[in-house]
Amino acid sequence: MPRRLIQRYIPEPHKVREEKCFRFLGDLLHDPNLWHLNRRSVSGAVAVGLFSAFILIPFQTILAALLAIWFRVNLPVSVVLIWVTNPLTLAPIFVLTIKLGGLLLGMPAEATSFELSWAWFSTELIHIWKPLLVGSLVMASFFSTFGYFITQYLWRRYVLQRYRVRRRQREARIHQQQLADHTRNKATTPPSPADASVHVSR
């Protein structure tokens, strides 16, 4: 994957370290593995970020940061992917998660609506925590695994395409050099005696 493209959408390391919510991590943030942009680090960060995004609990950002440190993958990518669950997507993901958990547990899906308020949570949580927990774990596991392997695939494909482009460019340069050498040699090579005798006879 193009590193420059990824860098456009993730915060710089010093900005992440300066965030108040991460200050308690202290020297753990100085691990260089948390800032690498390579196939292993980014694929793992995608898995960590998506897993944390679908665990529908408060402080998902802290969860993503702790998992990134534990697995030593890119921390900014992990944290940015938390925003898969945002104010626009949270309600449908929440309802779908509860219904999935209820289906797996053989329980009726009691939550058909969602409100982003403490009053709603305090009233409904006692009824939905089991399907919410199971549904969150299943969806988090699925999407994190999918994200990991699709990132691996796209990264390998990008590297292979870059290799093929460089190989074609190298072959084109070699071909052009060979043509130039042939033309230069042909211009500087004196005519053979046979060619000269034919020219005289004419």
Domain residue ranges in the chain: 3-189
Higher per-residue pLDDT: 1 or 23: 23
Task: Give the per-residue pLDDT at 195.
Answer: 55
pLDDT level of residue 80 (50, 70, 90 thresholds): very high
pLDDT at 145 over 90: yes
- Please report, for residues 51, 57, 120, 131, 171, the alpha-carbon distance to residue 61 in angstroms, rounded to integers and kept in the order given: 11, 10, 22, 23, 48
- Write phi, then psi, for 48 (nearest 5 degrees): -65, -45
pLDDT level of residue 107 (50, 70, 90 thresholds): confident
Task: Give the per-residue pLDDT at 113.
Answer: 61
